[in-house]
Chains A and B, each alone.
Chain A
Amino acid sequence: MIGAGTSAQRIYPDAINALADLLRDGMTICVGGFGLCGIPERLIDAVVGSGVKNLTVVSNNAGIDNEGLGKLLRTRQIAKIISSYVGENKEFERQYLAGEVEVEFCPQGTLAERMRAGGAGIPGFYTRTGVGTQVAEGKETKFFDGEEYLLEHGICADVALVKAWRSDETGNLMFRKTARNFNVPAATCGKVCVVEVEELVPTGSLDPDCIHLPGVYVQRVLVGAPYDKKIEFRTVRPRETA
């Protein structure tokens, strides 16, 4: 039969099984999500439970105290984190100031592009972002049409951990609203990409024109439902009275 891999090759019963033979000390893990929106929480829990340590984690944020990657910080399993924004996390701040965790600050757009490039076979690219700032220290620069650009390197991770809304049995993914964020570039830059979804649907039930990430990037899928999604800042407006 010509076609994508069968479900038996990709679908795992849970996060622990999906990660069992992948995790080892000192590895680099790229994690999707923005704040607590679209984070792979079942997979993060499974990494916490596995006890692997000395991890390098690439993620836009570091979670908040005891949510998301904050859990992995609390257990001291992270040696280095590459992020653009780590606010709202007191345990992180404490470890950073005590020199217990190494941080590489990377501008958000540069971080997304480093993941995208790593997954697209592009080892480096030039960007104006960060020219003349601390981010440029030690980096090669080049002028194009009289303007200075920085050389930034693509990121390839040992494992990518991703949260999606729906997957079919061949790993074709759809995301929901702003929960897509870093999940797409993160998925592409992992040697192995493990995805937790809210819903696994039969192959053929997703419109091929509406796939956000094709299954070629996805090696393992598990259903993480039911989810109790966290909101960092609940902001509402009053209803107009009729």
Chain B
Amino acid sequence: MMAWTRDQMAARAAKELEDGFYVNLGIGIPTLVANHVPESITVTLQSENGMLGIGPFPYAGEEDADLINAGKQTISELPQSAYFDSAQSFAMIRGGHIDLTVLGAMEVSQKGDIANWMIPGKMIKGMGGAMDLVAGVRKVIVVMEHLSKAGDPKFVPECTLPLTGRNVVNMIITDMAVFERSDRASLFRLTELAPGITAEDIANATTAAYLQ
């Protein structure tokens, strides 16, 4: 059985980018989306700690402790970069001014709920900006493995973990398939299969209801 690699999943998410988009990328696979922005378009990456126009990692010796992304990694600035405070940063997120966000998830439900911030008794790091992003950004794409490390489906009828947002996800990209929905009242539709994956494989690896 073949499946998409992490980099191929990121490349698939990058196909959703449009010229002029303002985009916030989460930590992990979503960060890789930045490597797949087509040459023909310009997108501006937002970092919720207070920057628009994230540049590449700095050259060794040019790191600046005052210039980091939301993952606390050193980055660089671009000619079009702008800095602002955290209240302003989330005003643009909450106010619907950011076009697209790509996030990881532990579970997504068939109704578009997402859980990605807490495992009771185990992981207590906090939600950071994820709840604000899913509530405010116009299009929410989840990129995740189709199955958990334990082999359980992650696209499920109801999330079992504490939610990050209710009915907020527009698109799911896994290592096996792509699911999309046209509006937040509809079920997701299976729209693409990774090479070597059949619709039956998806049915066997998914407990959520979805359209074929």
Binding site for B on A (CB under 8 A): 34-38, 60, 83-87, 93, 96-97, 103, 105, 107-113, 115-116, 127-135, 165, 175-185, 212, 229-239
Contact = CB atoms under 8 A, between A and B. Distances in A.
A37 B126 contact: no
Contacts, number: 185
B58 interface: yes
Interface in B114-133: 118, 124-132
B127 A180 contact: no
A177 B126 CA distance: 25
B60 A108 contact: no
A35 B68 contact: yes
A129 B85 contact: no
Given A96-B124, A232-B68, A236-B60, A181 B86 contact: yes
Given A84-B128, A127-B94, A177-B77, A60 B86 contact: yes
A38 B129 contact: no
Given A96-B124, A178-B67, A183-B85, 10 more contacts: A84-B128, A113-B87, A133-B162, A175-B85, A177-B66, A177-B77, A178-B83, A184-B87, A231-B65, A233-B74
Contacts of B101: none
Contact of A129 (B47, B62, B67, B135): B135
Contacts of B69: 178
A124 B65 CA distance: 34
Contacts of B73: 232-235
Contacts of A235: 57, 63, 73-75
A177 B81 CA distance: 10
Interface residues of B, number: 54
Interface string B34-59: 00000000000001111100001111
A231 B71 CA distance: 11
B6 interface: no
B172 to A, nearest CB: 19
A112 B87 contact: yes
B126 A85 contact: yes
Contacts of A178: 47, 49-51, 66-69, 83
16 contacts: A86-B126, A93-B124, A108-B48, A109-B132, A129-B136, A131-B135, A133-B164, A177-B64, A177-B67, A178-B49, A179-B66, A182-B86, A185-B87, A235-B57, A235-B63, A236-B58
Interface in B128-183: 128-132, 135-136, 162-167
B125 A185 contact: no
A182 B90 CA distance: 11
Contacts of A116: 87
